[in-house]
Chain A
Amino acid sequence: MIREMTRLVPALLLILLSLAAPAPLAAQTTAGAYPAFAPRAFVMFSQQQFAAKETFEAIFGESTGSFRGGGVDVVIARNIFAEIGFARFEQTGERVFPCVPAVPPPGSEVKCPFRLGIPLTAKIRSVEFVAGYRVTAWRRVLPYGGIGVGSHRYQESSEFAAAGDDVSVSASGLVLAGGVEVRLARFIGVTVDVRRSTIEEIIGSGGISKEFGENDLGGTAARFRIIIGR
């Protein structure tokens, strides 16, 4: 299902962009000097709640993680936007063993899962392409929503690894985003949005993620961007 939707999304985005083609004329009449095609650059920071909550808690002790990155976007006819962004996550935790029983008895000092003291470093590198629509009813505050696809590379390495033990795999997934852009100045704006990404086929077939039955490397992120451009 996700794979099929991933294929469909680029087509939907092209349709969305083609619909925006007549917009420049309208834009000139409603927004005065606003360009028909406005490229911008941004830097971003996001805090993500991973969908594989138990998995990340087991390895890293917390189910959230920080992404940092940047990218460019373009606003077409003031209302349509398309962005391509890069984000990177890296965190070090420990290899683990699941608890038996899965839930320790009340009062037990056992922490689950057992952390083995063997360092594990996970890296996620994502390139996401998202397009959507901005509401321009207000001058400084512009709500927006979009949909897109992401390409993700996941790397996992551990101490004492032998050949074939470490992991380096790629997969694609869907991205949904919705938020608001606040224009601080003519060429500076900030955005706050919530993004839901879905990345299957990387985790869930082995490791502690399999034990927990979690197969989505994505999650829900609160993202903050600083945008340079109109």
Chain B
Amino acid sequence: MFRARVLQMVVASGAIVLASVALGRGQSPAPGRVLLQSVSSGAVDRGLLPDEAPPPAIGGKLSMRALGDEAVHADRIGASGAAYQAGRLIVKFRDEVSTSARLSALSAMSSGSIATRKSYANFDIVTLDPAEDAEAAARAFASRADVEYAQPAYRVYAHFVPNDPLYRTQWNLPNIDMERAWDIQPGATSSVVVAVLDTGIAFQDAIVRYNARSFRAFLSNGAILQYPALGTIDVPFAAATDLRGTNRFATPHDFIWEDNLPLDLAGHGTHVSGTIGQLTNNGIGTAGVAYNVRLMPVKVIDDAWDFIFGSPNEGTDETVSRGIRYAADNGAKVINMSIGRTGPPAPVVEDAIRYAVGKGTFIAIAAGNAFEEGNPRQVIAEIASRVEGAVSVAAVDLLHNRAFYSGTGTWVELAAPGGSSRGFGTAGTIYQQTYDLDFVDTYDLPPALYRAPRFDVLAFLPFQGTSMATPHVSGLAALLVQQGITSPAAIEAALERFAADRGATGRDNEFGHGEISARNTLRGLGLSR
């Protein structure tokens, strides 16, 4: 309850800014964490926690800055209002341009340097003076004939909005006719891999040693809270009990920590993964749409603890695009992206999406939750609307109406249950297993109560958002893949062809082609009906 009051304060005062007295992000060359052991004392499952509520994230989130490093490492706000990572520029030189020509171009354009190209990147990262206007630098680079595109490393965020009341049934699955769909295709098989590009997944038991830096929380009402350094702490992790299974997770990778340990430090990715592939008919917890698939945890989004622990990367267009390419190259047939951002175009992400679709990977992308915050254009979702084989997903409530937060626009292609607490309480939200956030979001507490997190206490929590809608589409896409429809464009066409029309007749900006209908889609067409 206390935490809830703090949350309300945070929400009321707008975004807070947290800052650390330790080395700023990106300055620590040494590994920021050490995996001590890959088992822990086991998960604590607190079951259904209907009064828990994650904080809101509407195209933004609690942001953190290193104390004393604010000017250098803070996200910058571009002319469009979109945040980007200072000191970095994504540049895609044309393929025929040699390395020497690239360096020559760089010296002509900037005082910066080109970093060593990272894995799963077909672009270069140009490091700039952090004070330099990256958007202006991008425009200058983009105007060159030898440059295909250039853009700042815009920040990308998870989509979900808070809820707090109780929820007891998964109305969302019957609403898309899942029970009858499972008669036709019972949960796919482990031959289908679904990549979850998110904050990670609670996929492994582990104890990991981190260094927790001190930081400041800057409230928009002017208040500043100083949080102490926790120093070296051993943090326990547990795999989600309703996700884990033999050979359940495929080729995990972490683009925030640059290793193969994409542990979820927020709970968002674990919740999303549950809707895709929560174990079903096992007598515990909740159900998932494609409950036999293998899940590929690909961490491309950071959260508060990643910052406090000093992760080397933040979630930007760079990590997202690398994650997309990684998933496609490692056999994912479906990619779930319950993430997004507003602001300028993201050619690097579009490039990666087209690459993945070209390799036969279907992609579902959240359409955004900021309808009541001005309904800004969702950049990544908008890409999906231009690529056959990628779809953007809006959210509907349990009465099949547009969820109050769900963004509208020409980019919306499909709708799925994302839940809505407004008017329904927790009965209208989406339940899945994730961490008990009382043990995770301790940075929301006053400094005196602030403590190390635990990622081994699990619970079934109610979330809502287009983040929750998107995995329904990904799960259904996985079932279609199992049915033999493997072309991403064909999957998109099937989903849209059999969607239940909502709102205005035909395609519209609220629901796109309509709310997915699992059974009708899997059943296909007969001769005359």
**A209 CA to B525 CA in the complex, in Å?**
9
Mask: chain B, 498-529; 1 = CB below 8 Å from A; 0 = not: 00000000000000000000000011111111
Q: Which of A110, A115, A117, A204 is the one whose CB lies under 8 Å from B487?
A: A110
A200 at the interface (CB under 8 A from B): no
Beyond A156-B526, A169-B528, 13 additional contacts (C-beta under 8 Å) are A97-B490, A110-B487, A114-B485, A117-B483, A118-B184, A118-B523, A122-B527, A156-B529, A165-B529, A167-B526, A205-B528, A206-B526, A209-B528
Q: Is A207's CB under 8 angstroms from B527's CB?
A: yes
B413 to chain A, nearest CB (A): 14
B158 at the interface (CB under 8 A from A): no
Q: Which of A7-15, A27-35, A98-106, A175-183 contacts B (4 or more CB under 8 A)?
A: A98-106
In the assembled complex, which residues on chain A have CB atoms less than 8 Å from the CB atom of B522?
Answer: 116
Q: Is A55's CB under 8 angstroms from B484's CB?
A: no
B456 at the interface (CB under 8 A from A): no
Given A100-B489, A114-B490, the answer on whether A120 and B527 have CB atoms closer than 8 Å is yes
**A101 CA to B488 CA in the complex, in Å?**
11
B493 at the interface (CB under 8 A from A): yes
Q: Is B528's CB under 8 angstroms from A207's CB?
A: yes
In the assembled complex, which residues on chain B have CB atoms less than 8 Å from the CB atom of A209?
Answer: 527-528
**A interface, over-half SS:** mixed
**A116 CA to B522 CA in the complex, in Å?**
8
Interface size on B, residues (CB 8 A): 23
Q: Is A97's CB under 8 angstroms from B527's CB?
A: no
A206 to chain B, nearest CB (A): 4
Q: Which of A97, A101, A162 is the one whose CB lies under 8 Å from B525?
A: A97
Q: Is A59's CB under 8 angstroms from B527's CB?
A: yes
Q: Is B485's CB under 8 angstroms from A95's CB?
A: no
A160 at the interface (CB under 8 A from B): yes
Question: Which residues of B from 165 to 180 have beta carbons under 8 Å from A?
Answer: 180
Mask: chain A, 56-76; 1 = CB below 8 Å from B; 0 = not: 100100000000000000000
A151 to chain B, nearest CB (A): 17
B388 at the interface (CB under 8 A from A): yes
Q: Is A160's CB under 8 angstroms from B525's CB?
A: no
Q: Which of A55, A97, A204 is the one whose CB lies under 8 Å from B524?
A: A97
In the assembled complex, which residues on chain A have CB atoms less than 8 Å from the CB atom of B525?
Answer: 95-98, 207-208, 211
A161 to chain B, nearest CB (A): 9
B183 at the interface (CB under 8 A from A): yes
In the assembled complex, which residues on chain A have CB atoms less than 8 Å from the CB atom of B485?
Answer: 97, 114, 116
B127 to chain A, nearest CB (A): 41
Q: Is A116's CB under 8 angstroms from B527's CB?
A: no
Most B Cβ at <10 Å: residue of A93, A205, A208: A208
